[in-house]
Chains A and B, each alone.
Chain A
C-alpha cells in the first residue's frame, strides 16, 4: 500500500491548521513539475559541460601555439 501524501494547510485569517491529503491533480502536477525541471536541468548541465570542454580545448591549443601558462591565464581570466 502506498503512503498517503499530506500537506499542512494554514488559514492565516483564522489561524486554523489542517492536515489534508494531496489530491490526484496536485500529485500529478508536482510530478509533472519535477519532470520538467529535470529535463531543463539536464539541458543546462549539458550546455555547461560543453562550454567547459570547449574552454579546455581552447587552452590546450593556445599552449600548442607557444603561449605560456601566464599568458593563457591572462587571456582566460
Chain B
C-alpha cells in the first residue's frame, strides 16, 4: 500500500466558507482525507459533499460526549457528517480533528465513507464520533467540498488544514488482498 499526498490546504487569515478539492484524479484505489479545523464562530458540525451533489446521503453515527448521554442516530442531511469542531465557546487554539476514508471512490458502485473524529476542548464538554456514511450515487468522486453538516457555509478559522491523500493498493511491496 502507498499513501500519496494529493494536496493540502492551510486556511489563511481571512478564514473560509468552504474548502473544495476539485479535479481529483481517478488513479488511486481509495481516498483519505485528514481534517483539522476550528470555527471562527460557534462550535459546529462539519460535513462533506461529493461532486457538488446535495442529495442521496445516508449515515449512522455514534457520538460520545464529555458530559451528557452518548447517543447514536441516523440523521438525514445534504452532506455526510465528518465531525464536530470547536469555536469561540471552547478552549482557544483547539481544533476538531477528523479522518475520513473513502474506498473505491472512482468505481461505479455506491460510495461508502468511514469517519472517526474528536473535538478538542480543555473542559468537560468534548465530542468524539464514529460514523459510517453512504452516497447512493454511482458516479466517480471527482470533487469533495467541506461544508457545514446542513449544507450551509461554515466559518472555518485561520490555521485550519485539510489534506487529501490517494491510497494505492500493493504498490510498495505490501500485500494486496483480491
Contacts and interface: CB of A to CB of B under 8 A. Distances in A.
Interface string B133-155: 00000000000000111111100
Nearest to B12: A19
Nearest to A31: B152
A57 interface: no
A10 B143 CA distance: 10
A37 B21 contact: no
A29 interface: yes
The interface residues of chain B, by DSSP majority, are classed as loop
Interface in B72-97: 75-78
A12 B6 contact: yes
Contacts of B149: 37
B59 to A, nearest CB: 13
B7 interface: yes
B54 A17 contact: no
Given A15-B7, A36-B78, A30 B152 contact: yes
Nearest to B152: A34
B20 A30 contact: no
B54 A7 contact: no
Given A6-B14, A37-B77, A12 B153 contact: no
A11 B22 contact: yes
Contact of B151 (A10, A22, A34): A34
Nearest to B23: A13
Size bin of chain B's contact surface: 20 to 34
B20 A7 contact: yes
A51 B15 CA distance: 42
Contact of B76 (A15, A22, A40): A40
A7 B153 CA distance: 9
A55 to B, nearest CB: 15
Given A12-B21, A33-B150, A44-B75, 17 more contacts: A6-B15, A6-B16, A8-B9, A8-B11, A10-B9, A10-B19, A10-B20, A10-B21, A12-B22, A12-B23, A12-B164, A15-B7, A22-B153, A33-B152, A36-B78, A37-B78, A37-B152
Which 10 pairs between the two chains have the least Cβ-Cβ distance? A33-B151, A37-B150, A34-B152, A13-B23, A5-B17, A7-B18, A34-B150, A33-B78, A9-B20, A8-B19
